[in-house]
Amino acid sequence: MESLTSVIRQVPIEHYLFLSFVLFSIGLAGVLFRRNTIIILMCLELMFNSVNLLLTAFSAYHNDPGGQVFVFFIMLVAAAEVTVGLAILVMMKRNVDSVDINQLNRLKW
């Protein structure tokens, strides 16, 4: 059975660059143009995953495990972001009865 590194090297690096760019662009557009907090959190996760894909591809192409270590830390940050984001979302739903991002100004003291 082939290793993951050899499978990744069979695909040209340009394909990984293009896919990562498309995923990051979709995530960025979702963060900038959507108002629902859940969708914004999902778009942030999409942006994190596009960077993870690119770091993994470059790490495999250059035989350097440093990129995969960065992927691990990005996944930790993403898990913390989801935890904090969902806590804020629950607080918004309780206090404002909406998950619209524009309603955050009602949470001021």
- Chain segment 31-89, per-residue pLDDT in tens: 999 888 888 889 999 999 999 999 999 998 888 888 888 899 989 988 898 898 888 88
Instruction: Kindly state whether residue 62 falls inside one of the protein's structural domains.
Output: yes
Query: Residues 86-96: what's their mean pLDDT?
Result: 84
Helix H segments across the chain? 4-10, 13-33, 37-61, 66-96
- What is the domain-level CATH number for residue 24? 1.10.287.3510
Does residue 103 have a pLDDT over 80?
no
3-class SS of residue 52? helix
- Give the pLDDT score at 2: 66
Instruction: Kindly state whether residue 26 falls inside one of the protein's structural domains.
Output: yes
What would the two tokens of residue 56 be? 């993994």
The parent domain of residue 82 ranges over: 4-98
Instruction: Kindly state whether residue 103 falls inside one of the protein's structural domains.
Output: no
Instruction: Kindly state whether residue 46 falls inside one of the protein's structural domains.
Output: yes
- In this prediction, residue 4 has a pLDDT band, given cuts at 50, 70 and 90, of low
User: What are phi and psi for residue 95, nearest 5 degrees?
Assistant: -85, -35
Which residues make beta-bridge pairs with 100? 36
pTM above 0.75, yes or no: yes
Task: State the Cα–Cα distance between residues 47 and 26, nearest whole angstrom.
Answer: 8
Instruction: Kindly state whether residue 91 falls inside one of the protein's structural domains.
Output: yes
- Give the pLDDT score at 55: 92
- Give the pLDDT score at 35: 82
Instruction: Kindly state whether residue 105 falls inside one of the protein's structural domains.
Output: no
Number of domains in the chain: 1
Per the CB < 8 A criterion, the answer to whether 66 and 51 are in contact is no
